[in-house]
Amino acid sequence: MRIRTDGDYAYREDAIERAADFYDCNKTKAVVSACEDVPRLVAAARQVLERDDLTHEQRQEIAETLSTRVTSFEVEKNVTVERE
């Protein structure tokens, strides 16, 4: 597999190098590691945001903290009123 890093895709080189620095490995292993980690991290973030012991404000703060340029988390607050 080849990843274009020329022209409009030059930012990818920086992202891959940051991943390699983070994982302390070569670029190929860094890309694979990130691909394995991201789905698990997103699932864990969703699980945290669904906890019942957090206030809406805490959920919003966590969502903002965990959001990135590519992946964003949003929290909605639903209120239901029933009348008889």
Tens digit of each residue's pLDDT (9 = 90 or more) over 54-65: 999 999 999 999
Q: Is the pTM of this model over 0.85?
A: no
Mean pLDDT, the chain, rounded, equals: 94
Per-residue pLDDT, averaged over 13-41, amounts to 96
pLDDT of residue 81: 85
Please state, in angstroms and as integers, the Cα–Cα distance from residue 81 to each residue in 24, 45, 55, 78, 84, following that order. 53, 29, 19, 10, 10
Per-residue pLDDT, averaged over 4-26, amounts to 96
